[in-house]
Amino acid sequence: MCEASLCDNHLRVHSKSPEHVLCDPTTSLKDRKCSIHKKILEYYCTEDSTCICVSCRLDGEHRGHQVETLEEASEMKKKKLRNVLQKLMTEREEMEKRVQSLQERRRKVQGKADDETKRVTALFRDLRRRLEDLEKRVLRDISGWAERVSRPMLDYIRDLEIKKEELSRKMRDIEELCNMTDPLTVLQESDTGDLCDTEDGDDEDRERHENLLHDGGDGDVGGISHTLHTGLSDIMSGVNVQKCTGTHVSPHSTTKGKGPINGPPSRPDPKPSPTGGPNIGAVQQTLGGVGGYRHITGCEDSW
């Protein structure tokens, strides 16, 4: 090997001689020489996987080893590398296909999620509107019930206040008579019979009082509970869940003549509260009944 860098003109002379070995330009020839014999590396020892010079092959520690020329060993290594490259290219193509399929799947999932988000948002918006309307109607009924029950009480309270003032006046007059020291004046005082009359109308007042205490408008309260129960049932019956993830929700799924599917036994209509106020227990029972969904597996639209 000529240990020199040549221009194109001088390179032509060297390239015509088979004894000259040409290589790509390098910054250092030290790496191309044997560190022991200081000769150009020309062979490759396959047993030790290292480049050797002619002296290493003939007289050195690699004597008798299986060796190849650098060109042969290089081509063999390139062949192996090309096989590896082909495998890597195949794997990369396969991974690219997987990435594309996953991206396509992700786009479909995102599209499905967007559609479901819009559907659920619209569903709950409609539910909120219906619940707000029902709430206003029930609260209006409660307010009307309270007004109807309270009105006769207020009228009776006004009557009692008038009678209480009359009783207070009689008490003052009687106390004034009791404090008199002149017997003649006490005996001659007129209208004392009216002062002593305290029983007229007592039975009527007591009956009126008892009626107002125990007549809490139970019929109206029952109507309010019925309105709430019916309204909630109508709202949930109107929910049409067409698509879902894994399950289909049916608020009142039934089979002909058999009642609700897998449902709890039917409950009697909630009774009015004995105290005359809104029946909170009935409201809770209503909510529990309306909220008892049945889940039917097997949604037609699979993801």
Residue 5 binned pLDDT confidence (cut-offs 50, 70, 90): low
CATH topology of domain 8-74: Double Stranded RNA Binding Domain (3.30.160)
- Interval 214-244: pLDDT, tens: 765 666 777 888 888 988 888 888 765 433 4
Over pLDDT 90: what percentage of the chain? 26
Residue 183 clears pLDDT 90, i.e. is over it? no
**Rounded to whole angstroms, how far apart are CA atoms 222 and 129?**
25
Q: Measured on CA atoms in the order 223, 226, 232, 234, is the torsion positive or negative? A: negative
Judge contact between 44 and 50, C-beta under 8 A: yes
- The mean pLDDT value of the chain amounts to 74
Domain spans, the chain: 8-74, 218-303
Over pLDDT 70: what percentage of the chain? 63
Per-residue confidence (pLDDT) for residue 107, from 0 to 100: 96
- Interval 68-105: pLDDT, tens: 998 999 999 999 999 999 999 999 999 999 999 999 99
- Interval 239-280: pLDDT, tens: 654 334 444 444 444 433 343 334 344 444 444 444 444 444
Per-residue confidence (pLDDT) for residue 291, from 0 to 100: 41
What is the residue-wise DSSP string for 108-172? Answer: HHHHHHHHHHHHHHHHHHHHHHHHHHHHHHHHHHHHHHHHHHHHHHHHHHHHHHHHHHHHHHHHH
Residue 116 binned pLDDT confidence (cut-offs 50, 70, 90): very high
